[in-house]
Amino acid sequence: MIKITLDDVREMDRVDPLANCAKAFSLPDGVVYLDGNSLGAMPVAVPRRVEGLLRKEWRQSLVRGWTDHSWIDLPVRVGKRIAGLIGANEDEVVVSDSTSVNLHKLLVAALKLREGRSVVVSNQENFPTDLYIVQGLAWLLDDSISLRLVPTADIESAINEEVAVVMLTQVDYRTGAMLDIEALTDLAHQRGALVIWDLSHSAGAIDIDLGRADVDFAVGCGYKYLNGGPGAPAFLFVAKRHQDQAQSSLWGWFGHASPFEFDTGYQPSDGLARMQCGTPPILSLVALDTALDAFMGTEMKAIRAKSVALTDLFVELVDQSCQGFDLDLASPRQSVSRGSQVSLRHDEGYPIVQALIARGVIGDFRAPDILRFGFAPLYLRYENVWTAVETLREVMITRAWDSPEFRRRGVVT
């Protein structure tokens, strides 16, 4: 194998067509941020925009802001912008609630469209909240529906004529393994089931084409690769063909055909707007809207190409510099089956990650033994990858991780 040098890596930065995008973000000095898959970095434009919203719009306009500043349209307007990043039509995405809540709304919508079938298929590797939402729904419905939980390898054989919904996450939050949206959607449809895709770990980093894959429903996070800030609202997608029949599990006034008539009876609005429930969080929506400016002038294909190059480089550099430390690759080696993260396994994963964080290389740990590194293509440089692997090598050689301060566990890991 030809050795990769620091000069090679700097050359990759020099010719990177997305190199300028990093200017739109503000990171603390000395930090290599490899956790944008958990909480995206702060775009520089957000503080000023949010401050303007507070001082000019809220303070001055007060309740008139809903119309004067079109706050009321923000869920749909921001939805349109996200649609462009995931291969959806503009009228198929709305921003609302959290990913967990949106899953509840869409699961019920999908189950109602498949009455007579009662099984939801998902994989054991799925993110726990997604599974809890199905379990809670089964409890609410006195077990008239059930969750069929199988290993990823058995998804295909689990989809039979009892299955109403196949609910999967495109990129595995632990290993970064990526499922084939098109193939699995096609399979579910052939067997008469609908699909709900969770794009939390892929929207903003992977080139997704929901239209081409003929996806029925999807949800995703606003605060990961979309950089909307802590607790940013999530998005949901309903294919046009389902919008007149699909109904949310949560009937709130923002989903009503005419909320300001204050009718005592619920009447769903036309189209996607019915998937909203209550008053949208305008501060957070404005932050998310502003954060999405960082994607302007880019193509998801170019972002994905850089995501592949960053993760490939990390894998190659770990191979080159971190042999003999019992670090195993937990992610697929082939980039076609990998999202925008690389995970390593080590029995001492937790203190190793803490020692890296103490040196400014911020990744995270996922139980039981996963060291997780996310690569956000908009603001990472190839040289950051070099620095991260050099720091990992130093931590392993010196056993700097082997210290009580790095073994103490926080509430959030």
* Residue 214 near residue 186 (C-beta atoms within 8 A): yes
Catalytic residue among 198, 216, 289, 364: 198
* Residue 183 near residue 166 (C-beta atoms within 8 A): no
Query: Using alpha carbons only, what angle is made at residue 193 by residues 187 and 194, rounded to the nearest 5 degrees?
Result: 95
Helix (H), strand (E) at residue 67: helix 65-68
Among the listed residues 16, 92, 198, 364, the single contact to ligand PLP using CB under 6 A: 198
- Smaller CB distance to ligand PLP: residue 198 or 289? 198
Residue 129 as a binder of ligand PLP (CB under 6 A): the answer is yes
Residue 35 as a binder of ligand PLP (CB under 6 A): the answer is no
- Smaller CB distance to ligand PLP: residue 134 or 234? 234
In angstroms, the CA 339 to CA 177 distance is 6
- Whether 365 is a known active-site residue: answer no
Among the listed residues 33, 71, 173, 382, the single contact to ligand PLP using CB under 6 A: 173
In angstroms, the CA 272 to CA 235 distance is 12
Residue 243 as a binder of ligand PLP (CB under 6 A): the answer is no
- Whether 372 is a known active-site residue: answer yes
- Smaller CB distance to ligand PLP: residue 233 or 349? 233
Pairing between β-strand 370-374 and β-strand 364-366 as defined by DSSP bridges:
antiparallel
Among the listed residues 127, 225, 254, 350, the single contact to ligand PLP using CB under 6 A: 127
* Contact window for ligand PLP (CB under 6 A) among 66-74, 81-89, 195-203, 284-292: 195-203
In angstroms, the CA 210 to CA 92 distance is 10
Q: Work out how close the CB of 197 gets to ligand PLP at its nearest, in angstroms, rounded to a whole number.
A: 10
Residue 341 as a binder of ligand PLP (CB under 6 A): the answer is no
Residues 6+ apart with CB under 8 A from 278: 252, 253, 254
Binding mask 256-285 for ligand PLP (x = CB under 6 A): ------------------------------
Assess whether the previous peptide bond of 75 is cis (omega < 30° from 0).
Answer: no
- Smaller CB distance to ligand PLP: residue 98 or 335? 98
In angstroms, the CA 338 to CA 225 distance is 15
- Whether 224 is a known active-site residue: answer yes
- Whether 216 is a known active-site residue: answer no
Q: Work out how close the CB of 218 gets to ligand PLP at its nearest, in angstroms, rounded to a whole number.
A: 11
Among the listed residues 148, 174, 201, 256, the single contact to ligand PLP using CB under 6 A: 201
In angstroms, the CA 59 to CA 56 distance is 6
In angstroms, the CA 101 to CA 85 distance is 22
Q: Work out how close the CB of 297 gets to ligand PLP at its nearest, in angstroms, rounded to a whole number.
A: 27
- Smaller CB distance to ligand PLP: residue 318 or 330? 330
Q: Which residues lie across from 220 on neighbouring strands?
A: 235
* Contact window for ligand PLP (CB under 6 A) among 97-105, 184-192, 280-288, 321-329: 97-105
In angstroms, the CA 54 to CA 348 distance is 46
b/e per residue 228-243 (b: at least 16 CB within 10 A): bbeebbbbbbbbeebb
Among the listed residues 169, 202, 341, 354, the single contact to ligand PLP using CB under 6 A: 169
Residue 122 as a binder of ligand PLP (CB under 6 A): the answer is no
Tokens read off for 217: 């429903």
Among the listed residues 26, 61, 89, 100, the single contact to ligand PLP using CB under 6 A: 100
Which residues are catalytic, by number? Answer: 127, 198, 223-224, 372
Residues at the site binding ligand PLP, with contacts judged by CB under 6 A:
98-100, 127, 129-130, 169, 173, 198, 200-201, 221, 234
